[in-house]
Amino acid sequence: DPPPVDADFYDISAKLSPEDRALQLKVRAFLEAEIKPLVNKYWLHDDFPFEIIPKLADLNVCGYVYEGYGCAGGSSLVDGIIAAEFGRIDPSIATFLGVQSGLAMGSIYFCGSEEQKQEWLPQMQQLKKIGAFGLTEPEVGSATAGGLTTTCKKTADGWVLNGQKKWIGNSTFSDITIIWARDVDDNQVKGFIVRKENPGFSVEKIKGKMALRIVQNGLITLTDCVVPEADRLPHANTFRDTAKVLQMTRAGVAWMAVGCARGAYENALEYTLKREQFGKPIASFQLIQNHLVEMLSNLTAMQTLVYRLSELQDEGKLKDEHASLAKVFCTLRTRDIVSRAREVMGGNGILLEYNVARFLADAEAIYSYEGTKEINSLIVGRSITGFSAFV
Ligand code: FAD
């Protein structure tokens, strides 16, 4: 009999405490039982399975790293392990949770007032309120650091926001969206909690995506959208504060990519063990084994890299360039792994029901969001050379 398929070749799980390992296995069992059976159908229909939200809340892993406000106060390492487990079953659901737990809750946790944290974080941890994060604009993607065109202006009634935000995950149904805008008076980037019922706020669903189709992305329009001072994030005063959130979430995307690659590899390996051609399992052919070993080598390199990345994070030593390097390396290697996984499956590799096609498509979006390969490479390049080569 062939050995069981479990792509943890260097036994990273052995580094976890028994409690953390138990949590990993609990998350895995939940995803296998509750999420895996749904995802191909929802992916095909470009729809979100709202029925999973209470079950996800019961799993109690949202906002895992934050202290207080109903959150677990756990390690970044275990948070990463959880992100990889989600990615292994479905990168869309992993992204939904990443936006809620990382981008939206993280903005409030790092940049919000005590009142804002108390109002939003416990409800968001329980997924009773859903959040989104609006940074990218139709004409400004990579250049958000200096180029935001969405404006905010202080008036007697609070702040007036104008502009558009594109690609905003969860925003078609979120209760709040964190909007990043440039202050016309001091030219600095500020952050706001914008509520869905605000009359100046409207969202249109982005249709026709060929990746992460379960994630609902929106095009937001802000038209003289008035936000009270109490909903401005008081500790978001320059783009550096936004970047603090992105540092954490880019590390999370690296872990999610590990999961996506692992899911594709495990499904492909299983397939090659069962599929026979010329009277033998295709896994017995040298050229197929070469693909499998290339996949596993990259996956193992990624797994060990993100492990150390999270150790740095938990030691308080993580820098932007560490997170960017992991995001670039893992999403680039994932693209190679999913494409080989699809290749060893022949025609069935492009059918959703064989559970590799979805990873193949989703890897494309993970590769581009949270900073493209070029932008994250330039962050690393600046740190190792001292030269900023963005413009
Ligand atoms: P552009 O910036 O137009 O880039 C196009 C190409 O030019 C890229 O290859 C890029 O690397 C390259 N390029 C740009 N500048 C340089 C340079 N200086 N040197 C070399 N090459 C360069 N944003 C949010 O705010 N919130 C979200 O929830 C969100 N979710 C997303 C979900 C999905 C599925 C996708 C696809 C995107 C999402 N985004 C979100 C937006 C995402 O962060 C942007 O797509 C990304 O930052 C790239 O911006 P862009 O697509 O405008 O590409």
Are the C-beta atoms of 140 and 187 separated by less than 8 Å? no
Q: What is the pLDDT of residue 5?
A: 85
> Ligand 1: distance of its center to the CA of 310 in Å?
25
Q: What is the pLDDT of residue 2?
A: 72
pLDDT tens for the 391 residues of the chain, in order: 777 788 999 999 999 999 999 999 999 999 999 999 999 999 999 999 999 999 999 999 999 999 999 999 999 999 999 999 999 999 999 999 999 999 999 999 999 999 999 999 999 999 999 999 999 999 999 999 999 999 999 999 899 999 999 999 999 999 999 999 999 999 999 999 999 999 999 999 999 999 999 999 999 999 999 999 999 999 999 999 999 999 999 999 999 999 999 999 999 999 999 999 999 999 999 999 999 999 999 999 999 999 999 999 999 999 999 999 999 999 999 999 999 999 999 999 999 999 999 999 999 999 999 999 999 999 999 999 999 999 9
* CA nearest to 341, candidates 277, 304, 281, 298: 298
Residue nearest to atom 22 of ligand 1 (CA): 374
Mutate to test the pocket of ligand 1, among 46, 107, 167 (most ligand atoms within 8 A of CB): 167
- In this prediction, the answer to ipTM > 0.90 reads yes
Mutate to test the pocket of ligand 1, among 368, 370, 388 (most ligand atoms within 8 A of CB): 368
Q: Which atom of ligand 1 is nearest to the CA of 180?
A: 25
Q: Which atom of ligand 1 is nearest to the CA of 374?
A: 11
Residue nearest to atom 40 of ligand 1 (CA): 167
Q: First vs last Cα of the chain: how many Å apart?
A: 57
Q: What is the pLDDT of residue 66?
A: 98
Residue nearest to atom 12 of ligand 1 (CA): 374
Q: What is the pLDDT of residue 372?
A: 98
What gap in Å lies between CA 261 and CA 341, rounded to an integer? 9
What gap in Å lies between CA 46 and CA 66, rounded to an integer? 32
User: What residues does ligand 1 touch, defined as CB less than 6 Å away?
Assistant: 99, 133-136, 141-142, 167-169, 212, 217, 365, 368-372, 374-375, 390
Q: What is the pLDDT of residue 172?
A: 98
The single-letter code of the amino acid at 25 is L
Count the Cβ atoms, other than its own, within 10 Å of residue 171. 29
Residue nearest to atom 15 of ligand 1 (CA): 142
> Ligand 1: distance of its center to the CA of 140 in Å?
8
Residue nearest to atom 14 of ligand 1 (CA): 142
Q: What is the pLDDT of residue 272?
A: 98
Q: What is the pLDDT of residue 6?
A: 87
Mutate to test the pocket of ligand 1, among 99, 142, 375 (most ligand atoms within 8 A of CB): 142
